[in-house]
Amino acid sequence: MSEARKKRYFGTDGIRGKVGEHPITPEFILKLGWAIGRVMKRDGKDGILIGKDTRISGYMFESALQAGLSAAGVNISLLGPMPTPGVAYLTRTLHAQAGIVISASHNPFYDNGIKFFSSEGTKLPDELEFAIEDELDKPMETVDSKHLGKAGRIVDAAGRYIEFCKSTIQSKVDLAGTKIVVDCAHGATYHIAPNVFKELGATVIAIGSEPNGLNINLDCGSTKPASLQAAVLEHQADLGIALDGDGDRLIMVDHKGEEVDGDEILFIIAESRRKTESLNGSVVGTVMSNLGLEHALQERSIGFVRTLVGDRYVMEVLKKEGWLIGGESSGHILCLDRTSTGDGIVSALQVISAMFESDSTLFELKSGMKKYPQHLVNVAADKTFDLSDSDVINQAIRDVESELAGSGRVLLRPSGTEPVVRVMVEGVETAQVIRLANQLADVIIESQKNK
């Protein structure tokens, strides 16, 4: 397939948008179900799983997908509310041909999307996404009635996934006497995450665990951990766990109520693997990963590689190199020695296991990494504006890098979703970092006026 070809619907993580606006409409999702069914039938295989998060539109899109797949002659197994990584796991272990998740992850309830997993529990390769888009151009035809797909429900899906999560840490890890606050973001983990930690012996205080279809990610979960921080302090808990709406992201809170972000979680897991001689290679982050993570890993002779923003790119490097651990600052962590995709619950268990093995608090473990001050400025910019073509901007970047003198980092990155340029500066001193980021932002603004 030509690398120059662009996808019309698929982004880095499936298809996503506002409900009722193309392509997130019942009509399109019906056709999408038919298209993926047509592509999957080519291999002569059968059986697709469908899971969803808790947003109200999930019912509508579940029915539309089911109808489209049936029309293509594909059998369907419904999982009901199920975290994205749970669908990936069940797709693999139930030997389904593919898994579909109806979710917009950490977005508000009025957004939704469709994600796909291959039979191995990994994201679909580009060639399959292109093939699905090709089918969408064709008129929809229904197979003969005797060949229509049938639908059933897997009633023990949640229990199967709970047992898998618990299996990702050693059986000797006993959480009796440990108090944990779990924020489920009123999302797909509401009936799963609290039970995982309870069954391992912990005392669990569940918040964000009463979804009503409209409150998913609303002032809670991994994108807004303030309520979790308050609950940890109120209940004098040992730690807090914040997941997002579909359960693939993780942010934690230590017993002091301080946030532990994806970079710190990645550091803790990597350091734990190093001590047990199971790291097997370097760690992969992104261009947005904090410089403190890179330095902390270097101090421990752990290699570190950066990719573009997006867990898809992190996964590509891990797979190519045969490495195991990677992730993003947002809390999307990949532990390929435990599972095939980002999994918030599994990642939290790896951190808890590290606490248990080292007899340390979460605060003590994260203290091994010193985060550098980081300041981000979004500058409005036309999509056609070329940063690399401006001598003035390039000189301004060199000036900032010279002032940082090797103890900081500069990143200018056009947004893939908004008409802005993201200006990020890291360094040792907060005031300097803020000043330099604003200085670069002003240069970009002036350069656009003068182009």
pLDDT, residue 177, reads 96
- Model confidence at 351: pLDDT above 80: yes
Average of pLDDT values for 250-255?
98
Decide: 436 and 442 in contact? Cβ < 8 Å. Answer: no
- For the stretch 153-178, pLDDT in tens is 999 999 999 999 999 999 999 999 99
| 329 is known as an active-site residue | no
- For the stretch 42-55, pLDDT in tens is 876 679 999 999 99
CATH 3.40.120.10 in the chain is located at 15-155, 175-259, 261-371
Which entry of 57, 77, 105, 222 is annotated as an active-site residue?
Answer: 105
Average of pLDDT values for 32-38?
97
Contacts 24+ apart (CB under 8 A), 253-259: 253/181, 253/225, 253/228, 253/229, 254/361, 254/362, 254/363, 254/366, 255/361, 255/362, 255/363, 256/363, 257/229, 257/230, 257/232, 257/233, 258/229, 258/363, 259/225, 259/229
Question: How would residue 386 be classed by pLDDT, with cut points 50, 70 and 90?
Answer: confident
- For the stretch 97-138, pLDDT in tens is 999 999 999 999 999 999 999 999 998 888 999 999 999 999
Q: Which CATH number fits domain 261-371: 3.30.70.20, 3.40.120.10, 3.40.50.720, 3.50.50.60?
A: 3.40.120.10
In the structure encoding, which two tokens stand for residue 296, read together?
Answer: 């902390």
Question: How would residue 1 be classed by pLDDT, with cut points 50, 70 and 90?
Answer: very low
Domain topology for 374-450: TATA-Binding Protein (3.30.310)
pLDDT, residue 13, reads 82
16, 33, 61, 133, 238 from 102: Cα distances, Å: 10, 12, 7, 18, 34
The class (CATH top level) of 175-259 is alpha beta
Return d(Cα 403, Cα 385) in angstroms, integer: 26
pLDDT, residue 417, reads 63
pLDDT, residue 420, reads 86
pLDDT, residue 2, reads 41
pLDDT, residue 418, reads 72
Residue 375, helix vs strand vs coil = strand
Average of pLDDT values for 287-299?
95
- Comparing 363 with 385, the larger pLDDT belongs to 363
pLDDT, residue 416, reads 65
Average of pLDDT values for 86-96?
96
Question: How would residue 349 be classed by pLDDT, with cut points 50, 70 and 90?
Answer: very high
Question: How would residue 383 be classed by pLDDT, with cut points 50, 70 and 90?
Answer: confident
**What pTM does this model have?**
0.92
End-to-end, the C-alpha distance of the chain in Å comes to 37
Average of pLDDT values for 293-310?
96
Question: How would residue 4 be classed by pLDDT, with cut points 50, 70 and 90?
Answer: low
pLDDT, residue 12, reads 77
Q: β-strand 239-243 against 179-183: which pairing, if any? A: parallel
**What whole-number percentage of the chain has pLDDT above 90?**
88
Domain topology for 15-155: Alpha-D-Glucose-1,6-Bisphosphate; Chain A, domain 3 (3.40.120)
pLDDT, residue 54, reads 98
Q: With 0-12 CB in 10 A as exposed, 13-18 as middle and 19+ as buried, what is 358?
A: middle
Question: How would residue 390 be classed by pLDDT, with cut points 50, 70 and 90?
Answer: confident
pLDDT, residue 367, reads 97
pLDDT, residue 414, reads 84
CATH 3.30.310.50 in the chain is located at 374-450
For the chain, give the mean pLDDT. 94
- For the stretch 186-239, pLDDT in tens is 999 999 999 999 999 999 999 999 999 999 999 999 999 999 999 999 999 999
Return d(Cα 186, Cα 196) in angstroms, integer: 16
